Chains A and B, each alone.
Chain A
Amino acid sequence: MTIQKLLIANRGEIAVRIIRAARELGIATVQVYSKADKDSLAVRLADESIEIGPPQASKSYLNQATILAAARTTGADAIHPGYGFLAENAEFAAAVEAAGLIFVGPTAQSIRLMGDKVAAREAAAAAGVPTVPGSAGRLESADAAFALVEKTGFPVMIKAAAGGGGRGIRIARSAEEFHHLMPQAQAEALAAFGDGGLYVEKLIEGARHIEVQILGDGCDVIHCFERECSLQRRRQKVWEEAPSPSLTPAVRDELCSSAVALAKAVDYRGAGTLEYLYDDRSHEFYFLEMNTRIQVEHPVTEMVTGIDLVGEMIRIAGGEPLRISQDQVRVRGHSIEVRINAEDPAKGFLPCPGTISTLSVPEGEAVRFDSMLYQGYTVPPFYDSLLGKLIVHGEDRPSAIRRLERALAELSVEGLATTKPLHQALVRDPDVRAARFHTAWLEPWLETHAAALTTAEPSTTAKVAR
């Protein structure tokens, strides 16, 4: 069953990316939009568009019934959820299939399994994939918790089972601290969440974030190697690259094979990413979670492997088997992506919706700009701040860095503040150039380099109107 008409249940740069991939496959596109997105680039580019509600995402991009009705009205036979919104909602994936449509992604069952932290951990362990040592489920007593940490060693994180977003986390560096903190954590969890259940997990300090891209057709699974996304602010990735500059070939093999083993164990279909923490001193990696969707940073993998991941996931959804065998996947050179967000790095990353008065997009060899921007576009305040992604490729990491520096100088987005000055400072930083970083590296760096983020950019900007 091949797809004739694809509805894009998303917005922003990823909607544009999906429309382009579909068009190259000869598939017609339907773009849904909220009232606030009537003038979006995706709406302009799609073959058809249909309004699905007010600006609030809860009443538009998250409204399953309205999106399914839009698919019926327009005669779409498939829905691509992009990332965020309904992309990892098992109930939606099931509803799409129940309506007789194709969901461009895995089965509802896979989404549900990987969305459940405990079940995902168990699936990983069963497939022989290492996970962060700790409690597989919630611990009810301090004794059970202590028996566990005697095995994992210190430091450990004590987390409230009902918490989230970093709330209710305590770090114990010794048995003494643990005995002191555990009752506190339990009492606090009970008071704050009405649930005293806790998790305990070994704290991997100075770890890098490395993730493996996989593609499956429900039967066979291949990996497209890894990305490193250690530069993060508030758990949001700001700079991503492929391949990771910190893996040895032996560890890379082991890591990528483990991702394939886990995806195969769950008969995975579509594009997916397995996220890991990597300790470059011990060379140990630990499975964190699997994202059952396309990711923001997928282009760096496309740049080094030459595989159109979005195109492949649409083909697979249409019923084609994997067209690429593992030995055909090769990494060539190095790619870096930086996220251009509507945030002001000089003002604590304050979000900056507004109107794009001038836009100059970098061009030339091995430069790609995936964005939702055009000159005169007004960025609405209702959604996330990602405007676009600047992606470069080079024969090796140093040449990719030089190309990124050149491309950033050519990029001009005026009318609102963006994170471009952050990337201009990062690209010149000696630690970034030497890939000496980990997931907790950027935040202290931002404090010590606040001045670098407020200075005006060099005036070498080449202006190319487009």
Chain B
Amino acid sequence: MATQQIFSPLPGIFYRKPAPDKPDYKTDGDIIADSDTIGLIEVMKSFNEVKAGAAGKIVRFLAENEEAVMAGQPIAEIDV
């Protein structure tokens, strides 16, 4: 098993859940498919889904909910 990172494709605010009253998309330890959504990035008031991009298991999130992130910043670590 190798560890790799999921990077934010855009700069903006990172959200771990689809809406404030909804549960997180994914939590540490979840098994994910490459097309799974792991969070949202809000850029200029538009919301963009972040896909896992690889199948594996989430080790941990590196960005917190509502954290300001830069494009290319690692937001989660996964075992593939």
Contact = CB atoms under 8 A, between A and B. Distances in A.
B19 interface: no
Given A381-B10, A381-B43, A384-B45, 17 more contacts: A36-B68, A55-B13, A55-B68, A56-B66, A58-B66, A351-B45, A351-B46, A353-B11, A353-B43, A353-B44, A381-B11, A381-B12, A381-B44, A382-B13, A382-B42, A382-B68, A383-B45
B43 A351 contact: yes
A320 to B, nearest CB: 36
Interface string B37-49: 0000011111000
Contacts of A306: none
A54 interface: yes
B13 A56 contact: yes
Chain A, interface SS category: loop
Nearest to B10: A381
Nearest to B69: A381
A317 to B, nearest CB: 29
A185 interface: no
A71 B8 CA distance: 37
A310 B46 CA distance: 29
B73 to A, nearest CB: 12
23 contacts: A54-B68, A55-B13, A55-B68, A56-B13, A56-B68, A58-B66, A343-B44, A350-B46, A351-B44, A353-B12, A353-B44, A380-B11, A381-B10, A381-B11, A381-B12, A381-B43, A381-B44, A382-B13, A382-B44, A382-B68, A383-B44, A383-B45, A385-B45
A385 B12 CA distance: 12
A277 B70 CA distance: 42
A259 to B, nearest CB: 29
Contacts of A350: 46
A63 B66 CA distance: 16
Contacts of B10: 381
Interface in B2-51: 10-13, 42-46
A342 B11 CA distance: 14
Contacts of A36: 68
Contacts of A353: 11-12, 43-44
Interface string A338-373: 000011000000110100000000000000000000
Contacts of A384: 44-45
Interface of A: 36, 54-56, 58, 342-343, 350-351, 353, 380-385
Interface string B41-78: 01111100000000000000000001010000000000
Nearest to A343: B44
B68 A385 contact: no
Contacts of A56: 13, 66, 68
A56 to B, nearest CB: 6
Contact of A385 (B11, B13, B42, B44): B44
Contacts of B42: 382
Nearest to B68: A55
Contacts of A383: 44-45
Contacts of A382: 12-13, 42, 44, 68
Contacts of B12: 353, 381-382
Contacts of A54: 68
A166 to B, nearest CB: 16
7 shortest interchain CB distances as A-B pairs = A351-B44, A381-B11, A385-B44, A381-B12, A55-B68, A381-B43, A351-B43
A54 B68 CA distance: 9
Q: Which residue, of B43, B44, B46, B66, has the highest number of chain A Cβ atoms within 10 A?
A: B44
Given A56-B13, A381-B12, A382-B12, A342 B44 contact: yes
Contacts of B68: 36, 54-56, 382
A381 B9 CA distance: 13
A343 B12 CA distance: 15
Contacts of A351: 43-46
A86 to B, nearest CB: 17
Contacts of B13: 55-56, 382
Nearest to B12: A381
A36 B42 CA distance: 15
Nearest to A351: B44
Contacts of A342: 44
B15 to A, nearest CB: 11
A380 B68 CA distance: 11
A340 to B, nearest CB: 14
A10 to B, nearest CB: 15
Nearest to A34: B68
A58 to B, nearest CB: 8
A386 to B, nearest CB: 9
A17 B42 CA distance: 27
Nearest to A55: B68
